Structure 1
Amino acid sequence: MSAMLTPETPQHTAANEELDINDINELNESDIQGLDLEEERDTSASAVSQPTPKRERLDEDLESNLDSHDHFRPRVNVSSPFSSGVDMRRYAHRAEHVNQRALSMSQQSKFISYCDEKLMEIQRKFVQSRGLNEQHGYQGLGPLLEDLKTVLDFIWYSIEGLTNTESLLKTDVNLMSREQFAGTKSTSFGQVYYLIRVADDFLDYLATFDIRGMSSDEQHKTLSKAFKFIIILDVSFARLLEGLVPGNTRLNATETVRIAGIAERTRTAVPRYLEEQQVHGYHYEVSKIYEETLERCA
């Protein structure tokens, strides 16, 4: 290889002189031939074409963490009943709200007593299932969700007059308007306290149930109930935040903050629970957890 020629260093313009770009000399052919760029170009191309071991590891990790497109499709059929004994056709076309009357003072007292007693009964039964008296406790997450939903149904009935919250599963809150409840009287007397309590209790109970020993079919049925339960709560809170209930009554700031906190914790707790239980999929359902509620809490 011939010795590489070093181009002469051009003279710099003096401080008090003006640079004339039209008077700059171009590189002649010998200068260009003296610039040995081939070796550097080969070296650069080789460096680009051969990924480093670190980059290879990153690529492998990325590929291993990518789920197939199928995993992001809905797995829970919201058109199916929460409970096997429920006829969804009864609620499929109930778009109009029931003109619910506000409860009297004595009825409100009975409502509060029922909710307190029922939630205490669920808690007692849950504690028994933790080892104190397993045969009288919950045998799984499914039965507990059934009992919690019974309370949820009772609460929502006092608000809107619907006997079963199954109808909320396919409710598009964005298609509703406050005008639907124009002229109606408020039915609110603090029921949201119990809605918040049910949502909070559910989150505490969820993490304690092991579903790894279930068959895939039974596991799917249980998780479907859990996600439907969250959807019902999400729609309930979203409607209350918008005032899409009789009397157009909206939640106050304190209630909104509490609900937002539960919603955020649920969005992190459910994926963690699924990971601990070695359950794969349900990415779509996880992404929708309390979506409507948090959008209105922002």
Structure 2
Amino acid sequence: MSRPTDSPTTPPHPAANQETRLPDHSLPQSAAADLDLNPELYDDDDDGDDKMAKDDAGGGNNDDEYFEDFEDVKIDLQSYSIPFDTAYEILKLDFDRKSPNNASELQQSKFVNYVDGELLQIQRKFIKNIANMDNIEIYSIFQLAQDLNQVIDLIWYSIDKRSKLFGQDHYLIKIVHDLEDYVSHYDLHHLIEINSPTLLSKENNIKFLKLFTFLQSLDVRLSFLIDGYTLEGTTKVEKISSTELVRLLSITSRLRMMIISKIDPIRLKLNKVASETSNPSNRQAQDLLNLFEVEIGRLFEGILDRSSI
């Protein structure tokens, strides 16, 4: 991953089949909420390391835990995500209220090392999943999205209007690039149950809700960095470079088509049911078709709308 010369260095990424050793010191799992980017947080004597350890096989990421907060949610949606302009304004208001992090160069380097470790952990889980000889999915696309979302939240937390970017934009672009490879190995059509009156179970509905919300969050944050923000007290605008924007647009276009190709079998199933006038589920199928059409239209619309910038 290329970086500006004044950015902290990042450890080299190993080959896909190479065993890796993750950093000995991690941030807490609640880092996205509690990260202060201060010296105390990175103190090597911090006695909170034990509770930070993650199960290498993906502990804490099972679907029961993933959806436990949504048990009482009534699913009756016209879309999974919200309109882009609304999401963008919410993000901008939140960004303007952020407290400064004032991270030192050492803290930035440790932050970079931590994020690299988290992305490697995700890569290892993904590789174990596709290498599983029993053809049993042990790391779903929804678990992958959850893990990536935690990293993205952490990266975003480190950006504020008083600080220059020190590689966060490169990480977000890297995640989009990695997603292209990750998504290609997953199928989604089995989540539609033709013989079920509801076609899409409550649990699977929530899975799609989380997935499309995650994709929109990535789109909105990168769109914000394409537009840029003015460093407080200066006239300098921090933003994604024109070179990186060209690269991002290319990656995003491919990823969007990849995601659509994964949704197409779902649309075919739903179209079949919707066309059967005697099928009691035909109205439900049409509603779901409309829902997926809305989400396809919103896939990375912010980034792609900025192709002329």
Q: Does 1:157 align with 2:157?
A: yes
Aligned to 1:249: 238
Q: CA deviation at 1:131?
A: 3.3
Report the AA paired with residue 305 of structure 2.
Answer: E
User: 1:141 & 1:242 partners in 2: Cα distance?
Assistant: 30
Describe the superposition over 1:250-295 as per-residue Cα deviations: whole angstroms up to 9, x where unpaired.
1111111111112211221111111145565211111111111122
Q: CA deviation at 1:135?
A: 11
Aligned to 1:193: 170
SS in 2 for 1:154: helix
User: 1:245 & 1:225 partners in 2: Cα distance?
Assistant: 31
Aligned to 2:219: 234
**Which residue of 216, 220, 245 maps to 2:205?**
220
Q: Please list, as runs of the form range in 1=range in 2, the aligned pairs for 1:62-141 lying within 5 A after superposition.
A: 74-78=78-82, 94=94, 96-132=96-132, 138-141=138-141
Aligned to 1:283: 293
Q: CA deviation at 1:133?
A: 7.4
User: 1:284 & 1:114 partners in 2: Cα distance?
Assistant: 36
Q: CA deviation at 1:224?
A: 2.1
Contact in 1 for aligned 2:115/2:151 (Cα 8 Å): yes
Report the AA paired with residue 298 of structure 2.
Answer: K
- More moved, 277-286 vs 126-135: 126-135
SS in 2 for 1:210: coil
Describe the superposition over 1:112-160 as per-residue Cα deviations: whole angstroms up to 9, x where unpaired.
1111111111111111112347799743211111100111011101113
CA-atom RMSD in angstroms:
2.8
Q: Give the TM-score normalised by structure 2.
A: 0.55
Contact in 2 for aligned 1:159/1:246 (Cα 8 Å): no
Structure 1 residues 264 and 279: alpha-carbon distance in aligned structure 2, compared to 1, 3 A threshold: farther
Q: CA deviation at 1:192?
A: 0.8
Structure 1 residues 251 and 77: alpha-carbon distance in aligned structure 2, compared to 1, 3 A threshold: closer
Comparing both structures, which one devotes a greater share of its residues to helix?
1
User: 1:222 & 1:279 partners in 2: Cα distance?
Assistant: 18
User: 1:245 & 1:196 partners in 2: Cα distance?
Assistant: 21
Q: CA deviation at 1:222?
A: 2.2
Report the AA paired with residue 253 of structure 1.
Answer: S
Contact in 1 for aligned 2:189/2:265 (Cα 8 Å): no
Describe the superposition over 1:190-248 as per-residue Cα deviations: whole angstroms up to 9, x where unpaired.
11111011112122212212333335223322222221111111111111111136553
Report the AA paired with residue 186 of structure 2.
Answer: F
Report the AA paired with residue 212 of structure 2.
Answer: F
Q: Structure 2: 5+ residue runs without aligned partners?
A: 1-76, 84-90, 194-199, 271-288
Describe the superposition over 1:75-127 as per-residue Cα deviations: whole angstroms up to 9, x where unpaired.
21549xxxxxxxxxxx9x84743132332111111111111111111111111
Contact in 2 for aligned 1:239/1:245 (Cα 8 Å): no
Aligned to 2:248: 259
Aligned to 2:181: 204
Report the AA paired with residue 217 of structure 2.
Answer: I
Report the AA paired with residue 252 of structure 1.
Answer: S
Q: Please list, as runs of the form range in 1=range in 2, the aligned pairs for 1:20-59 lying within 5 A after superposition.
A: none
User: 1:292 & 1:250 partners in 2: Cα distance?
Assistant: 15
Structure number with greater CO (CA < 8 Å, separation at least 6) is 2
Q: How many residues align?
A: 191
Q: Give the TM-score normalised by structure 1.
A: 0.57
> Identity percentage over the alignment?
29
Report the AA paired with residue 284 of structure 1.
Answer: V
